[in-house]
Chain A
């Protein structure tokens, strides 16, 4: 469904993406992982056409990304930080999105809107919402049009445990509908139950793209974080990042 061919992107001196090629198909849940600044968000933004690569091509459902913007109607995008016009009310935002897409009520997937109880805040202006509530709005918008491709940038960051669970269940149910889902996250334990493939980026380079089974087999580890750690030690690159992940997970355990 998404084909990436040798894309490159440079921001001044920083090589954000370095000759990345990949192929994503329906039914897959791809986890994009890597340290901060490794190019995950740039890759996502390139797929959405928000960042224009210096070289290479991206195709979504065989349509080139830099041409007709109509291909984006198949994509639901949840940004890392959802920011919306200050004075716009939540209800207006939803109304506007529906008008842009020109869809009938039947095609709309209201599931998350209802589960997050968003109709209760329809009259509130966007600027009064907390960060977590904004995340909920972003998530509900991404799933609203029942798109064939979902791109979720740090979906669970900032959500409370209950909402985070609701979102994860939703992702699993969409995965069963044979959709392509791209997720970036630093919380590997969140990805564990969802992912089918792992794509590891570092300093703009793709280190590997493997399915979970192969990864577990090669490393002999069942737990995702340990498996990745083992692979990364093999690559002998930024081990510190992996250690930080372990620390973070231990902290998590302490809290709950």
Chain B
């Protein structure tokens, strides 16, 4: 499998977008740490970038890459290789390149300026979100034959996870504010990887004290080993299920 991923990587690493993405992340993180006196404030600003930009870039880059390597996939299909292996190699190649961009761009500054619990939580969330949204993007692009539709669908998913979902949650919380909703909101957070990542990092910071009773309940849950395990498992599911569905429909697809 790695044999193929290596050539996918060769192709991507010569791509200027990935280099620009790495530089962008690096400059932003570096200047955040330089400007803010308090490194946890810098982490908070970085958090917003990680939660908004990372999923967006992962989705768009993966979708475009998939359609651009359609020919390559066709070529591989005429070789003695199974379809599962071809798609997983593509996934591996894209994931590794996006992850290295993140680790160089955000990982290095974080390790330099704020190598503590919060810093590692940020790196963990960023890594998980990159893998999750690459996997979702593969599902979106395998399912739609048309490039414009695939990219549009990926954008729509980003809007949903990054913006619309929060609005929906707020709506539900307002509508049922008379009932005890703490456990329920915990469940809701698991249904959106971006929210899950946000809560996971926020609770490692001091500001979680400002979040009242729900915050206390969250802190109790996410602060424990159980919470870390919960986050990891949910993130894994978010990465594995779309990828599995993508492989399943790729195996039946006509090229």
Contacts and interface: CB of A to CB of B under 8 A. Distances in A.
A125 to B, nearest CB: 8
Given A84-B72, A99-B3, A48 B10 contact: no
B255 A92 contact: no
Interface residues of B, number: 25
Given A51-B255, A52-B252, A100-B4, A87 B80 contact: no
Contact of A85 (B69, B77, B253, B254): B69
Contacts of B11: 85-88
B68 A86 contact: yes
Interface in A21-54: 45, 48-52
Contacts of A97: 79
Contacts of A119: none
Interface string B116-159: 00000000000000000000000000000000000000000000
A79 interface: yes
Interface string B1-39: 001100100110011000000000000000000000000
A72 B254 contact: no
Contacts of A85: 7, 11, 69, 71-72
Interface string B60-79: 00000000110110111111
Contacts of B175: none
A201 to B, nearest CB: 18
B82 interface: yes
Interface in B66-101: 68-69, 71-72, 74-83
Interface in A3-27: 11
A170 interface: no
Nearest to B254: A51
A85 B7 CA distance: 10
B10 A87 contact: yes
B14 A87 contact: yes
A69 B254 contact: no
Interface of A: 11, 45, 48-52, 69-73, 75, 77, 79, 83-88, 92, 96-97, 99-101
Interface of B: 3-4, 7, 10-11, 14-15, 68-69, 71-72, 74-83, 252-255
5 closest Cβ contacts across the A-B interface?
A: A83-B71, A73-B80, A72-B80, A77-B78, A87-B14
27 contacts: A49-B77, A50-B74, A50-B78, A51-B254, A52-B252, A52-B253, A69-B80, A69-B82, A72-B78, A72-B80, A75-B78, A79-B74, A79-B75, A83-B71, A83-B75, A84-B71, A84-B75, A85-B7, A85-B72, A86-B68, A87-B11, A87-B14, A87-B15, A97-B79, A99-B3, A100-B81, A101-B80
Given A45-B254, A69-B80, A69-B81, 8 more contacts: A48-B78, A49-B77, A69-B82, A69-B83, A83-B74, A87-B15, A100-B76, A100-B81
